[in-house]
């Protein structure tokens, strides 16, 4: 059981609440993305408050409870959404922190909105946090919150965790506000990153931008010490395993396979529709295999789930056009009536349907150009209780550190990717099962509860504060 240091309620601060709705008349549904799917199980096990945005513009909501979670909404205006969320967070920081796999746009007005909205989140967190409690801030949207919160509430323990990569200094240095962001983060007691490399990149940025001294993984900052470390996030393995063993899920997986025409092999890709995910590279490799006759319906089918994401940001609109043109071309060339080469689903699915899809997939393709962790890879492994199935995994994901027995690819290497898919389709023997077993053992030990306990445990060791 994860306990906040001191045993009091934990305050989570993240851009999104774990639930959203299309409009006030619609029911609440789970918010998209890895951050939310990882944190829900953590807060279900311990008392806590979640401060975040409910996903719509100009909605002033009172605090409310949802399935045992206590939620404190922060209001964003239409302008805040355009400049802080779509602009600075997702058109400046997101591409920059993912090694500029998409173009990073720098707009001065967006920075002003980012600062203003971070201030609002810090005030909401300050109101929600009991004296001497622990506040855990999440992700790139809220990098100024730690310092703002410390100024207002020096009694709090403050942790921050980055769910996405932190770039090398050559890339980070392009950010006109690089000093302010580093100073914002140094308000925390503990800064957590997915991989060791991300932590090292941050330490270098801190030395260059804040002129601090670092000793190993500690930043000396005035009279304070800030710890910096790697805490690879994971999934609720036991819960996913149970869901995948459920007879209803298994029956649904058989039904999906039947609906696909009972092919010999099903390949699956599951991503938010994002340029960092390498969907185009993956489909180009698959299209060459179709051309060569190595794969194709009715024997082999590919399902590509691309869940809608950030669809008002230009790079995402361009990607959607490119992807849908490519899928259309591939299906035009290689499908037959009632048997498409690619089943393309621009939709989001609930957890149980995702588990059924993972069960259906003989081969899982996770091929990002850059990804902080990638929880889809871990979810797939968690669902393969019979130890069958092959994971093809990009070397540019954090997940590769934990899932070394996957078939590891460089998504920029077309021939290597094709060869990996061929190899995956020929898998299935004892060696394949051994690999899956080893990966499952790893994520059963290092699950999301282990991650949260490791981070909060390290945060507890950072300081001894006297409650006010």
Min separation Cβ 32 and ligand G6P, Å: 5
* CA 403 to chain CA centroid, nearest Å: 16
Angle between helices 34-44 and 448-462 (to 10 degrees): 80
Residue 464 annotated among the catalytic residues of the structure: no
CB burial of 35-55 (b: ≥16 within 10 Å; e: otherwise) equals bbbbbbbbbeebebbbbbbbb
Range in contact with ligand G6P (rule: CB under 6 A) among 31-39, 117-125, 223-231, 240-248? 31-39
Tell me which of 282, 310, 435, 440 binds ligand G6P, using CB under 6 A: 310
300 binds ligand G6P (CB under 6 A): no
Binding segment for ligand G6P among 30-38, 246-254, 283-291, 458-466 (CB under 6 A)?
Answer: 30-38
Q: In the range 152-211, which residues lie near ligand G6P by CB under 6 A?
A: 163-164
CA-CA-CA-CA dihedral for 234, 239, 244, 247, to nearest 10? 180
93 vs 392 by CB, closer to ligand G6P: 93
| Span of 28-36, 61-69, 142-150, 177-185 interacting with ligand G6P by CB under 6 A | 28-36
**Which CB, 16 or 440, lies closer to ligand G6P?**
16
- The CB-of-35 to ligand G6P minimum distance in angstroms stands at 4
Binding footprint of ligand G6P, residue count (CB under 6 A): 12
> 3-state DSSP call for residue 318?
helix
CB of 467 to ligand G6P, least distance (A): 31
Shortest Cβ 106–ligand G6P spacing (Å): 19
Minimum separation from the CB atom of position 369 to ligand G6P (A): 15
Q: Is 48 in the site for ligand G6P (CB under 6 A)?
A: no
Part of the chain binding ligand G6P (CB under 6 A), chosen from 26-34, 260-268, 406-414, 446-454: 26-34
Q: Which of residues 126-145 bind ligand G6P (CB under 6 A)?
A: 139
Q: How far is the CB of 34 from ligand G6P (least distance, A)?
A: 4
Q: Supply the DSSP symbol for 214.
A: E
163 is catalytic: yes
**Per the structure block, which two tokens stand in for 201?**
């990149």
Is there binding between residue 95 and ligand G6P (CB under 6 A)? no
Is residue 32 at the binding interface for ligand G6P, with CB under 6 A as the rule?
A: yes
- Residue 33 in contact with ligand G6P, rule: CB under 6 A: yes
Give φ, ψ of 18 to 5 degrees.
-70, -10
Distance in Å from the first CA to the final CA of the chain: 27
CA angle 382, 354, 436 (to 5 degrees): 25
Closest residue to bound ligand G6P by CB? 33
| 35 belongs to the binding site for ligand G6P (CB under 6 A) | yes
For ligand G6P, the closer CB: 39 or 265: 39
User: How far apart are CB 163 and ligand G6P at their closest, in Å?
Assistant: 4
| Angstrom distance (rounded) from CA 32 to CA 139 | 14
Structure tokens at 161: 């965790």
Of 364, 394, 368, 395, the residue nearest 379 (C-alpha):
364
Residue with tokens 């993912």: 98
Question: Of 2, 10, 12, 16, which one interacts with ligand G6P (CB under 6 A)?
Answer: 16
For residue 328, give both structure tokens. Answer: 């259309």
Gap between the Cα atoms of 175 and 392, Å rounded: 34
Report residue 427: phi and psi, to 5°.
Answer: -75, -175
User: Of the residues 198, 271, 274, 371, which is catalytic?
Assistant: 371
Q: Which of 130, 132, 128 is nearest to 145 (CA)?
A: 128
Torsion 188-190-195-200 (CA) sign: positive
Residue 363 CB, shortest distance to ligand G6P, in Å, is 24
The piece of 22-30, 32-40, 193-201, 291-299 that touches ligand G6P (CB under 6 A) is 32-40
Contact status: 244 vs ligand G6P (CB under 6 A): no
- Tokens 């409910």 map to which residue? 54
* Beta strands 64-66 and 69-73, pairing class: antiparallel
Shortest Cβ 18–ligand G6P spacing (Å): 10
Note whether 98 binds ligand G6P by CB under 6 A: no
Cα maximum dimension of the chain: 71
Q: Which two tokens stand for residue 162?
A: 């980055």
| Residues 250/350, Cβ–Cβ less than 8 Å | no
The answer to whether residues 345 and 306 touch, using CB atoms and an 8 Å cutoff, is yes
309 touching ligand G6P, by CB under 6 A: yes
- In the complex with ligand G6P, which residue's Cβ is closer, 227 or 310? 310
Contact assessment for residue 278 and residue 414, using Cβ atoms and an 8 Å cutoff:
no
Q: Exactly one of 18, 34, 102, 297 binds ligand G6P (CB under 6 A); which one?
A: 34
400: how many CB neighbours lie within 10 A of its CB?
20
Catalytic residue among 163, 343, 442, 449: 163
Interface residue list for ligand G6P (CB under 6 A) = 15-16, 32-35, 90, 139, 163-164, 309-310
Catalytic residues: 163, 371
């Amino acid at each position: 059981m994860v306990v906040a240091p001191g045993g009091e309620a934990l305050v989570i601060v993240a851009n999104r609440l774990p639930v959203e709705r299309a409009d006030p008349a619609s029911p609440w549904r789970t918010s998209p993305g890895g951050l939310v799917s990882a944190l829900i199980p953590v807060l279900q096990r311990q008392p806590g408050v979640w401060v975040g945005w409910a996903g719509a513009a100009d909605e002033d909501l009172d605090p409310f409870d949802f399935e045992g979670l206590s939620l404190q909404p922060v209001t964003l205006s239409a302008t805040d959404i355009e400049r802080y969320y779509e602009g600075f967070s997702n058109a400046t920081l997101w591409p920059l922190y993912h090694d500029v796999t998409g173009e990073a746009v720098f707009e001065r007005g967006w920075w002003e909105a980012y600062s203003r909205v971070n201030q609002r989140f810090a005030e909401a967190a300050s109101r929600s946090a009991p004296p001497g409690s622990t506040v855990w801030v999440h992700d790139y949207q809220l990098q100024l919150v730690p310092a703002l919160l410390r100024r207002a509430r020096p009694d709090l323990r403050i942790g921050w965790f980055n769910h996405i990569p932190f770039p090398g200094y050559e890339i980070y240095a392009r950010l006109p506000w690089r000093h302010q962001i580093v100073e914002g983060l140094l308000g925390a007691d503990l800064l957590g990153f997915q991989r060791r490399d991300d932590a090292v990149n941050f330490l270098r940025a801190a030395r260059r931008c804040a002129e601090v001294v670092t000793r190993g993984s500690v930043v000396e900052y005035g009279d304070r010490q800030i710890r910096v470390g790697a805490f690879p996030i994971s999934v609720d393995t036991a819960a996913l395993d149970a869901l995948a063993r459920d007879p209803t899920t298994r029956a649904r997986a058989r039904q999906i396979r039947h609906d696909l025409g009972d092919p010999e092999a099903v390949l699956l890709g599951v991503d938010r529709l994002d340029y960092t995910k390498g969907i185009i590279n993956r489909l180009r490799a698959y299209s060459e295999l179709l051309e060569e006759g190595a794969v194709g319906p009715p024997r082999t089918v590919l399902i590509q789930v691309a869940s809608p994401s950030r669809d008002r940001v230009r790079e995402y609109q361009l990607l959607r056009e490119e992807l849908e043109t490519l899928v259309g071309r591939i299906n035009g060339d290689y499908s037959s009536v009632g048997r498409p080469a690619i089943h393309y689903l621009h939709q989001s699915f609930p957890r149980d349907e995702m588990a059924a899809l993972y069960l259906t997939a003989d081969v899982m393709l996770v091929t990002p150009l850059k990804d902080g962790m990638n929880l889809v890879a871990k979810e797939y492994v968690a669902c393969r209780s019979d130890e069958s199935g092959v994971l093809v995994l990009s070397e540019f994901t954090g997940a590769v550190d934990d899932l070394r027995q996957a078939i590891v690819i460089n998504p920029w290497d077309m021939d290597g990717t094709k060869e990996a898919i061929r190899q995956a389709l020929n898998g299935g023997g004892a060696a394949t099962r051994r690999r899956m077993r080893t990966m499952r053992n790893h994520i059963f030990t290092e699950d999301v509860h282990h991650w949260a306990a490791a981070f909060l445990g390290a945060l507890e060791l950072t300081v001894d504060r006297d409650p006010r």
